[in-house]
Amino acid sequence: MESRLKTNARIESSIKTNYIKAQEDEMFKKLVNSFDVEEHEKIINTSKFQDTITCLKNCKNCPGLNKCKNENQGYVYYPEIYNGEIEFYYKPCKYLKEEEKKQNNKITREKEIDNASLKELDYNDKARIKVIKWLTKFIDNYDNTKKNKGLYLHGSFGCGKTYIISAIFNELKKKGFKSEIVYFPTLLRDLKSNFDELESTVNYLESVDLLLIDDIGAEKVTEWSRDEILGTILQTRMNDYKTTFFTSNYTIDELEKRLAGDDNKIAANRVIERIKILTDDIEIKEGENRRK
């Protein structure tokens, strides 16, 4: 019994020594002092507090999820008070929260696109009369063995551009035609992180019957994204008479300036000329924000 008491005393003494030494770290000291609990409660959780500090230090200059150094990627081991005692939980970091938000938005967006229907379009909206007339004619005359111009549809944020083209695609899916919608900034990011799939992805986008390049101009423009990815896809689709659509917040002239950057007007013009050959240019004038 006496031996056991001595052992326990040594353990407690060792834990307290570790606690005192740990407070030499200003981050540790600031963290434990932020909790209004008995000193003993802090002491017995010394090692857990140290794990939290390790996580926080890893997070301090972390550039993103793919570079996370924490044991549980995307999570911080963090203390909270529960019933007067300190409990530790894994809490998502800001990058994981952003990623989860993107995924939730993506699911909502995909569901909206999957359910897009011509019946749901507002045929009384004067801002959409021109585009609705265009799409009605397009659907009636579409033939994937012939040259069919797509649409460069531009207008203010949230005016329903993607929904309108999704409705066209969903209608033509009923007739067996294959279509694909790619949000251009995300496509580029995915291609950069999955170079093994770059060739197969580009080949697919070059050959699918109907392609929508959504939100062109929202991406960070580089020579690689403009010339090797976008330019290559458009050139092949133009040669093979594949119908291509675009949505953008920019007019074609504004997009050309954006693609040119500071000093590459020739390369930008080359892409713009392909877009003009592939599409008719229609603007949806500013009206009600359809994303509300």
| pLDDT for the residue 102 | 66
Residue with tokens 């749901």: 120
Is the full-model pTM beyond 0.75?
no
Neighbours of 183 (CB within 10 A): 20
**Exposure on the CB side of residue 286, measured as CA atoms within 13 A:** 4
Residue type, 40: H
| pLDDT for the residue 30 | 92
| pLDDT for the residue 109 | 53
| pLDDT for the residue 105 | 55
H runs (alpha helix) in 174-251: 184-193, 198-207, 223, 232-239
For the chain, residues with pLDDT lower than 70 are 1-9, 11, 102-115, 117-127, 157-159, 286-292
Query: Which residue spans within the chain are E strands per DSSP?
Result: 75-82, 85-92, 150-155, 179-183, 210-214, 243-248, 279-284
User: Phi, psi at residue 115, to the nearest 5°?
Assistant: -100, 0
| pLDDT for the residue 291 | 46
For domain 115-284, the CATH architecture is 3-Layer(aba) Sandwich (3.40)
| pLDDT for the residue 184 | 87
Domain ranges of the chain: 2-96, 115-284
State pLDDT tens for residues 199-231: 888 999 999 999 999 888 888 888 888 889 899
Neighbours of 32 (CB within 10 A): 23
